[in-house]
C-alpha cells in the first residue's frame, strides 16, 4: 500500500495535470452551451503554449507571455467564430483545420525564431509562473494529516492553478445565475426563440467563442510556463480531446466537469508516478497506464457512460428566418 505522503504527492500531481484539462473543458463548455461545437481546443492550447513560451523566453516576463498566449488563442477563436457563425461553415471541419494550423505553425515559427528544432529556449525564473506558498503553510507542516494536506497539496501551486479551480464556481454562476448565462444556454437550445426576444444570436455565440478562446489561452500558457519550462512540439498531447471527452462525461455541467478532469488528471499522475503496477501476480506495464486516459476517452465517447444529450442547436448554424 502506498503511504500517506505518496498519496499526497500523487494528488498534488493530479491537481497540476488536471489544470489544463479543466480550463480547456470549461472553454468547451461555454462554446458548446451556445451551440458552437469546438474540436479546436487542442489547436488553441498549442498556439497559446507556443506564443506564451516564446514571449516569456524573449522578454523574461511571464505575464507578457500569458498575454501573448491568450491573444494568439483569441485570434484562432475569432477564426473559428468567423467560419462557423458568420459564414455558417461546418463547425467540426473548422475545428480540425485550427488543430492542423496550430500543429504546423508553432513548429515552423519556433524553428525560424529560435533554431532549436521547433522548441523554445528553456524558461528561467521570471519567465515562468512560480509556486505560491499559502499563508501558514510552513507553520502547519508538522501537524499530522491536515498539515501535509494544506502545505503539500493545497499550497505550492502557481497562480493559474488557483485561477482554474476558481473558474469552476465562476462558470456555474455565469451560466446558471446571470441573464447572460440564461441567454447563452437558450442560444444553444433554441436560437430562434432568443432571436424573437430581440437578442442577437450572433453576438451571444461570438461572446461564447471568445470566452472559449480566453480559457484555452490560459490553459496553453499554463502548459508552457507553469507545468513545463518552455514549448516543445505537440506538447498538448491530445489534452484538448481529453477535455472534450471530460465535457461529454460531465454532460455539459461545470461541477461535473471538475470531477471528470480530476479523474483524468489522476490517471495521468498515477502513470507518471508508478512505472509498473503489480496487482497480485499480474504486472500492469507503464505503457498501459500511459494509454489509460486515452482509452477512457474512447470509452466515454462511445457512449458507455449513460446518454449524454448535447445542446439541441449544437453544431447547427443559425439562419435567420426572413
Handedness of CA 149, 156, 154, 295 (dihedral sign): negative
Element (H, E) at 100: helix 91-114
- Please check the confidence at residue 204 and state whether its pLDDT lies above 60: yes
pLDDT mean over 245-269: 92
Strands 282-284 and 277-279: antiparallel
Question: Under DSSP, is residue 284 helix (H, G, I), strand (E, B) or coil?
Answer: strand
CA 59, CA 54: separation in Å to the nearest integer? 9
Question: Under DSSP, is residue 316 helix (H, G, I), strand (E, B) or coil?
Answer: coil
Q: What is the DSSP letter of 310?
A: -
- Please check the confidence at residue 321 and state whether its pLDDT lies above 80: no
Torsion-angle region of 60 (φ positive above 0: left; ψ -120 to 50: alpha; else: beta): left
* pLDDT for the residue 93: 95
Confidence grade of residue 253 (pLDDT, cut at 50, 70, 90): very high
**Reported pTM:** 0.94
- For residue 122, give the C-alpha cell: 528553456
Higher local confidence (pLDDT), 76 or 298? 76
- DSSP states along 1-69: ---HHHHHHHHHHHHHHHHHHHHHHHHHHHHHHTT---STHHHHHHHHHHHHHHHHHHHS-HHHHHHHH
What is the separation of C-alpha 177 from the centre of its chain, rounded to a whole number of angstroms? Answer: 23
Task: Read off φ and ψ for residue 261, nearest 5 degrees.
Answer: -70, -35
- Distant-in-sequence contacts of 138-141, Cβ < 8 A, 24+ apart: none
pLDDT mean over 57-77: 96
Higher local confidence (pLDDT), 279 or 17? 17
**86-145 residue pLDDT tens:** 999 999 999 999 999 999 999 999 999 998 888 899 988 788 999 998 888 888 888 888
Distances (CA, A) of 64 to 68, 126, 184, 190, 221: 6, 11, 31, 40, 11
Distant-in-sequence, close-in-space partners of 305: CB < 8 Å, separation ≥ 6:
249, 299
Element (H, E) at 211: helix 201-222
**272-315 residue pLDDT tens:** 887 777 777 888 887 888 888 888 888 877 766 667 788 888 88
Query: How open is the CA angle 267-270-273, to the nearest 5 degrees?
Result: 150
**Mean pLDDT, all residues of the chain:** 91
Contact (Cβ atoms closer than 8 angstroms) between residue 162 and residue 284: no
Contact (Cβ atoms closer than 8 angstroms) between residue 245 and residue 296: yes
- Please check the confidence at residue 1 and state whether its pLDDT lies above 80: no
Return the residue matching grid coordinates 504486472.
Answer: 283
Torsion-angle region of 19 (φ positive above 0: left; ψ -120 to 50: alpha; else: beta): alpha
* Percentage above 90 pLDDT, the chain: 68
Tell me how crowded residue 189 is: count the other CB atoms within 10 A of its CB.
15
Domain boundaries, the chain: 8-236
Query: How open is the CA angle 282-274-304, to the nearest 5 degrees?
Result: 70
pLDDT mean over 175-192: 95
Task: Read off φ and ψ for residue 61, nearest 5 degrees.
Answer: -120, 115
CA 23, CA 7: separation in Å to the nearest integer? 24
Amino acid at each position: 500500500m502506498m503511504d500517506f505522503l505518496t498519496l499526497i504527492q500523487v494528488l498534488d500531481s493530479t491537481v497540476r495535470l488536471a489544470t489544463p484539462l479543466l480550463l480547456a473543458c470549461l472553454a468547451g463548455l461555454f462554446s458548446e452551451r451556445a451551440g458552437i461545437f469546438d474540436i479546436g481546443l487542442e489547436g488553441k492550447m498549442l498556439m497559446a503554449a507556443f506564443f506564451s513560451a516564446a514571449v516569456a523566453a524573449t522578454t523574461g516576463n511571464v505575464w507578457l507571455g500569458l498575454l501573448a498566449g491568450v491573444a494568439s488563442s483569441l485570434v484562432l477563436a475569432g477564426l473559428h467564430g468567423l467560419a462557423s457563425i458568420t459564414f455558417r461553415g461546418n463547425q467540426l471541419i473548422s475545428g480540425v483545420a485550427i488543430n492542423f494550423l496550430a500543429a504546423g505553425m508553432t513548429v515552423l515559427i519556433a524553428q525560424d525564431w529560435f533554431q532549436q528544432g521547433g522548441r523554445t529556449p528553456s524558461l528561467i525564473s521570471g519567465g515562468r509562473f512560480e509556486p505560491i506558498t499559502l499563508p501558514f503553510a510552513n507553520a502547519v507542516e508538522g501537524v499530522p494529516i491536515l498539515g501535509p494536506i494544506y502545505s503539500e497539496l493545497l499550497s505550492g501551486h502557481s497562480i493559474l492553478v488557483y485561477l482554474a479551480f476558481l473558474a469552476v464556481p465562476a462558470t456555474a454562476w455565469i451560466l446558471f445565475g446571470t441573464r447572460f448565462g440564461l441567454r447563452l444556454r437558450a442560444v444553444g437550445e433554441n436560437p430562434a426563440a432568443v432571436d424573437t426576444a430581440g437578442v442577437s444570436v450572433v453576438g451571444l455565440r461570438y461572446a461564447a467563442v471568445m470566452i472559449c478562446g480566453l480559457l484555452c489561452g490560459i490553459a496553453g500558457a499554463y502548459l508552457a510556463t507553469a507545468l513545463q519550462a518552455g514549448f516543445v512540439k505537440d506538447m498538448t498531447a491530445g489534452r484538448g480531446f481529453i477535455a472534450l471527452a471530460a465535457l461529454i462525461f460531465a454532460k455539459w455541467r461545470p461541477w461535473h466537469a471538475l470531477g471528470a478532469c480530476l479523474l483524468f488528471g489522476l490517471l495521468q499522475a498515477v502513470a507518471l508516478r508508478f512505472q509498473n503496477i503489480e496487482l497480485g501476480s499480474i504486472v500492469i506495464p507503464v505503457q498501459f497506464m500511459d494509454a489509460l486516459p486515452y482509452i477512457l476517452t474512447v470509452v466515454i465517447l462511445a457512449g458507455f457512460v449513460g446518454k449524454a444529450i448535447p445542446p439541441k442547436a449544437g453544431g447547427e448554424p443559425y439562419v435567420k428566418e426572413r
